[in-house]
Structure 1
Amino acid sequence: MTMSLPLHAPNPHHCLIGPLPQLFHGELAAYGAALAVADSTAPAGTVLAAFLDGPQLPAALARFALRFPGAHPKALASTWSKLYFNALLVPVLAASAACGWRFPLAPGRVRFLAAADGAPLRFLLEDAGAASPDLDSAARLQPLVRGHLAPVVDALARQCRLAPRLLWNNAAVIAEETLLQCQMLMGSQPRIAADLAFLCASAQWPDRLANPMHQPTRLVANVRQRQLCCLRYRLRLDFCADCPLDCRQRQAAQRNLR
């Protein structure tokens, strides 16, 4: 599996923040460009909490749907969520794994920008955040999951009538893939292994509540597969490389699209 780049090029007026310039440069700069510090003199975008609870989310999804005429609404929303989680989690988790960096990501403190076609584009933060290398994975990542991802999952599930577990699987697959890529590129650092274990291998967290991102994939004949299909095929696109549908299901799905 490989991480997909954001759909839009970096904004030349937004400099990469925190450790992102060291992690994402050259062809990878688009990953880090999804996070920027907001301009307090001329704020752009919409406060994420308002975006999720107001008319902006359905409006963005409606614009996004124009890219895939006739596509199933749930497949559109699932694909939109994957772009959202990719834009957010790749830079956030890479920075966390590399040096324990934490960004201010509470929905009330983030301004969200969607592109002209409704796709997720950029997150504008109050400040660049700070390194917290002494914090363990739970302290660094639990606020990300419960404080940021959970409201996004709830809003999309409510707006689009999607099963929350599908949205959580979308987020968890990207999180797992990002951290596996970090291990490959940065080596087997203890922090990366701990983050991966906390986010994706632990069924319960230290407070005994269930981890909604637990075990997003499984190995089948040495091929990593998602636990749940993301419905990409309903956009009349190729199946994902990690799609869990077996051959007969794929054939049936393809027949249904004719």
Structure 2
Amino acid sequence: MTMSLPQQAPSPQHCLIGPLPQLFHGELAAYGAALAVADTSAPVGTALEAFLDGPQLAAALALFALRFPGAHPKALASTWSKLYFNALLVPVLAASSACGWCFPLAPGRVRFLADTDGAPLRFVLEDAGAAHPALDSAARLQPLVRNHLTLVVDALATQYRLAPRLLWNNAAVIAEETLLQCQLLMGAQPRIAADLHFLCATAQWPDQLANPLHQPTRLVANVRQRQLCCLRYRLRLDFCADCPLDCRQRQAAQRKLA
């Protein structure tokens, strides 16, 4: 979809749940394996709220930083957030848009597991959720954004002094690309189109608050570009394919890093 995830096959204790086996199979199974159901006899991971509020977030980022020696902390946190949003939003939005599926994603009902290198690995849920095809986009998706994503954005923005709008753009670009891929693979299904419009094309939601995911990209010379740079270049990596920096800005950034 958007960012690479660990490519190991899902182990038996992390069998794909809900509609995910039908949506993610073969080489795509790792996307679905990012969601699992908790084993109450042996809890795995850390309660998400405790992970974000305690020292474990910083510890995970410190491990993640070992992959990019000397990288700017803001760039590390931004890139980590992209991996987090990718692991969460790809399976959640695919299941929601394709099947009307709702997972229990309130922060108090989720345990989080980081990989050995600190990167996001898995979300362990209380149960597999259920299909609610009669619910509209707002009912299915607004709680995900207002509760779960807001908590993650606030934690990263506070601890790493990142602009919240940058983190929201990271999430929104992944949401948009996921739903565009769903349209490409599954055809013009009304629910997918409605979810894409609700998440990425609606400036204000029914609660009268601004949609933080609104308009994540723009077309420049028929090329889709992010609204904000994700700071990837500060990891001394190539620019993203949808990077908004123009050639002059890229050259200046590269001179600064030299």
Q: TM-score range by the shorter chain?
A: over 0.9
1:4 aligns with 3
| CA shift digits 1:22-42 (9 cap, x unpaired) | 000000001000000011100
The root-mean-square deviation of aligned C-alpha atoms, in Å, is 0.8
Equivalent residues of 1:10, 1:34 under 8 A apart: no
Equivalenced residues, count: 257
* TM-score, length-scaled by structure 2: 0.98
SS, match of residue 51 in structure 1: helix
Task: Note the 1:205-224 alignment, pairs <5 A.
Answer: 205-224=205-224
Structure-2 residue corresponding to 1:23: 23
1:10 deviates by 3.7
Tell me how far apart the structure 1 counterparts of residues 251 and 157 of structure 2 sit (CA, whole Å).
28
Q: Which residue of 1 aligns with 2:120?
A: 120
Distance 1:201 1:9 in 2: 35
What corresponds to 1:62 in structure 2? Answer: 62
> Equivalent residue for 1:191?
191
Write the letter of the residue equivalent to 1:5. Answer: S
Q: Distance in 1 between matches of 2:203 and 2:250?
A: 30
Indicate conservation of the 8 Å contact 2:81/2:170, yes or no.
yes
Name the amino acid aligned to 2:224.
Answer: R
Per-residue CA deviations over 1:211-245 (Å, capped at 9, x if unaligned) read 00000000000000000000000000000000000
Q: 1:174 corresponds to which letter in structure 2?
A: I
Counterpart contact for 1:156–1:162, Cα < 8 Å:
yes
Deviations 1:30-77 (CA, angstroms, capped at 9, x unpaired): 100000001110001100010010010011011101110000000000
- TM-score of the superposed pair, with normalisation by structure 1: 0.98
Aligned counterparts of 2:111 and 2:209: Cα–Cα separation in 1 = 29
1:246 aligns with 2:246: yes
Please tell me the residue identity of whatever aligns with 2:202: S
Deviation at 1:144, TM superposition (A): 0.3
- The CA deviation at 1:8 is 4.6
Structure 2 unaligned runs (5+)? none
Identity of aligned residues (%): 85
